[in-house]
Structure 1
């Protein structure tokens, strides 16, 4: 059985507001159930371990997905989600793929986490796929810091500056991820219409633009695993 390591954010505070963030729930649940329904073993980890903060906006009625409802009735997965391993407790070599859900949290903690960044480099150098969705690609910044030039010329997408503006959160984050990726030389692409699904794949690196891209990114990761089984 192939194994997928899902690394989630531990960060929940935002700037200039009392609102909180964390993982965007559907960006975890949509891919998670794509993986387990295909028979993959999924391990959950985070910088601090333990319970993952959830962006409250992702639990509003208009943002709830079928996978959210499934998660609500899945005691075993909730137990895993509330008791994630720390990054120090997991060994990348034991897994076949790496996945980063979004929510705004990653732009703070995963963007600067040395362990996570090192894992990304280890996976790519070992010809194992790495996927991330929405703000999950912020984790690539930590890998870029350790290997300058990693992102130059790579086809990448993420939650766009336009989408940040439409979400009214541009003033609550330390930087715009699209801008940062472009500054590092990434070949950035996005859907012409905001908040529509968009996936980019550059070799073993797979990225998705927004919440609607979470399931498609997971499917692209599964396809990559099936083409190159360990």
Structure 2
């Protein structure tokens, strides 16, 4: 029975290689890959991620080879990303505390969410959160996605998060304890040195945010606590950390290796890598 992978993409733009890299690793093993987005809209790659002449400002060089640019365009132009699952349709929304009948609505929410998320988790062996700037907008603080992450973690199923997709892991918290899932864990993610000073852009909106709205490194350092750690690995070409059930990838060149590490987690029981 082939492994089944749920891949979540932002509707505001994903970084091409951060999708292609893991998916190539999954395809090579014959895994079945299903895509999901927050509202069921089709996801698209950020234009700089399929432009081999685009120079990444913090690194001072292109991060996309011509071969990878071709693969990203082929993926983006294909029908493979058409008709993704909609988290909005699958998972109910938690009611505001100001709801007129909050207790009954909250009970109904939990019944619906437990069933929906339970069915989703039962259908897949692993979850992947693809990075890029888009996740800042519609994945990082997406409560429906948080419920999915919490459920995969509770079911002891692995989660791969890349780049700014790692923010989802820091923010997905049980509302009773409010403690980070990453407390005591070792992770990597976009370090401060790799953040743009200007030019953080998104698909579908004519808006240059300037720098990212939050430095992910600082959030991850706080979320992992005194017994965990953030590993930026600045100056090293690859940064992929596995601390089960989480596999985290820093940025673009880590995409393929992170997919391979998730394969090792699923097939060989890997629990620790990179620290």
Matched, 1:187 2:216: no
Larger radius of gyration: 2
Three-state SS of the structure 2 residue aligned to 1:131 is: strand
C-alpha distance in 2 between matches for 1:40 and 1:65: 26
Q: Which shifted more, 53-62 or 82-91?
A: 82-91
C-alpha distance in 2 between matches for 1:7 and 1:92: 13
Q: Of Structure 1 and Structure 2, which has the larger fraction of its residues in helix?
A: 1
Cα-to-partner distance string for 1:140-188 (whole Å, 9 max, x where unaligned)? 1331364523222210111111000477648332211111122223510
Three-state SS of the structure 2 residue aligned to 1:42 is: strand
Which runs of 5 or more structure 2 residues have no equivalent in the other structure? 54-63, 91-118, 201-208, 270-275
How much is the aligned-residue C-alpha RMSD, in angstroms? 2.5
1:63-78 alignment to 2 at 5 Å? 63-64=64-65, 66-73=67-74, 78=78
C-alpha distance in 2 between matches for 1:178 and 1:133: 13
1:1-230 alignment to 2 at 5 Å? 1-11=2-12, 22-62=13-53, 63-64=64-65, 66-73=67-74, 78-87=78-87, 88-89=89-90, 91-144=120-173, 146=175, 147-165=178-196, 169=200, 171-184=210-223, 185=225, 187-193=229-235, 196-228=237-269
Q: TM-score, normalised to structure 2's length?
A: 0.71
How far apart are 1:53 and its partner, in Å? 3.2
Runs (4+) of structure 1 exceeding 2 A deviation are 64-75, 144-147, 165-173, 183-186
How far apart are 1:74 and its partner, in Å? 5.7
**Do 1:58 and 1:64's aligned partners in 2 also have CA atoms closer than 8 Å?**
no
C-alpha distance in 1 between matches for 2:134 and 2:49: 13
Which runs of 5 or more structure 1 residues have no equivalent in the other structure? 12-21
C-alpha distance in 2 between matches for 1:202 and 1:224: 10
C-alpha distance in 1 between matches for 2:20 and 2:266: 19
Three-state SS of the structure 2 residue aligned to 1:23 is: coil
User: Cα 1:205–1:167, aligned 2, differ >3 Å: closer, same or farther?
Assistant: farther
C-alpha distance in 1 between matches for 2:50 and 2:72: 12
